[in-house]
Chain A
Amino acid sequence: MPHANALYGPLDPASDAGYGDAPPRMGFFTDTSVCIGCKACEVACKEWNGVPESGLDLLGMSYDNTGALTANSWRHVAFVEQPRSVGRETPAFEGYPDGPAVSPATAAVGARTSTDTGTDPGLPPGSPVAAARMSGGPEFLGMPGGQPPGRGTGVEQRSDFRWLMMSDVCKHCTHAACLDVCPTGSLFRTEFGTVVVQEDICNGCGYCISACPYGVIDQRKDDGRAWKCTLCYDRLGAGMTPACAQACPTESIQYGPLDELRERAAARVETLQERGVPEARLYGHDPNDGVGGDGAFFLLLDEPEVYGLPPDPVVTTRDLPAMWKHAGLAALTMAAATAVAFLGRRP
Chain B
Amino acid sequence: MTDATRRRHGRGHGGEQLTVPPAEFRSYYGRPILKAPVWKRDIAGYLFSGGLAAGGALIGAGAQLTGRPALRRVGRWTALGGTVGSAYLLVHDLGRPERFHHMLRVAKLTSPMSVGTWILTVFGPVAGVAAIAELGPRLPQHGVLGLARRLAPSVGDVAGLAAAATAPALATYTGVLLADTAVPAWHDAYPYLPFVFGGSALAAAAGVGLIAAPAAETVPLRRLAVAGAAIKLVGGHRMERLRITGEPYRHGHSGRLVRAGNVLLGVGAVAALLSRRSRALSVLAGAALVASSVATRFGIFEAGTVSARDPRYTVVPQRERLAEHGPTVADGRL
When chains A and B are docked, how far (Å) is the Cα of A130 from the Cα of B29?
7
- Residues of A contacting B24 in the complex (Cβ-Cβ under 8 angstroms): 130, 133
- Whether A193 is near chain B, meaning CB under 8 Å from some CB there, is no
Instruction: Name the interface residues of B278-306: CB closer than 8 Å to any CB of A.
Output: 304
When chains A and B are docked, how far (Å) is the Cα of A202 from the Cα of B169?
26
Query: Which listed segment binds B: A28-36, A147-155, A252-260, A328-336?
Result: A328-336
Query: Which listed segment binds A: B35-43, B121-129, B146-154?
Result: B35-43
When chains A and B are docked, how far (Å) is the Cα of A287 from the Cα of B193?
31
> Known: A337-B231, A342-B63. Contact between A288 and B38, CB under 8 A?
no
- Whether B252 is near chain A, meaning CB under 8 Å from some CB there, is no
Name the prevailing secondary structure of the B interface residues: helix
Q: How many residues of A contact B (CB 8 A)?
A: 111
Which of B29, B95, B97, B231 is within 8 Å of A131, CB to CB? B29
B187 to A, closest residue via Cβ: A316
Contact A334 B172 (CB under 8 A): yes
Contact A5 B25 (CB under 8 A): no
- Whether A251 is near chain B, meaning CB under 8 Å from some CB there, is no
- Whether A186 is near chain B, meaning CB under 8 Å from some CB there, is yes
Contact A311 B27 (CB under 8 A): no
- Residues of B contacting A205 in the complex (Cβ-Cβ under 8 angstroms): 93-95, 103, 113
- Residues of A contacting B304 in the complex (Cβ-Cβ under 8 angstroms): 210
B202-228 vs A: 1/0 string, CB under 8 Å? 100000000000000001110110011
Which of A181, A202, A339 is within 8 Å of B111, CB to CB? A181
Contact A126 B176 (CB under 8 A): no
Taking the nearest CB of chain B, how far is it from the CB of A203, in angstroms? 4
- Residues of B contacting A181 in the complex (Cβ-Cβ under 8 angstroms): 110-113, 180-181
B331 to A, closest residue via Cβ: A9
Contact A210 B181 (CB under 8 A): yes
- Residues of B contacting A121 in the complex (Cβ-Cβ under 8 angstroms): 35-36, 38
Contact B31 A67 (CB under 8 A): yes
Apart from A133-B24, A184-B105, A311-B318, 14 more pairs, CB < 8 Å: A9-B331, A123-B31, A130-B25, A131-B27, A131-B31, A180-B110, A224-B96, A288-B329, A288-B331, A326-B195, A330-B195, A330-B235, A334-B172, A341-B220
Chain A contact residues, CB within 8 Å of chain B: 4-5, 7-12, 61, 67-68, 78, 80, 107-108, 110-111, 120-121, 123-134, 136, 177, 180-186, 201-207, 209-220, 223-226, 278-281, 286-290, 292, 303, 305-314, 316-317, 319-320, 322-324, 326-335, 337-344, 346-347
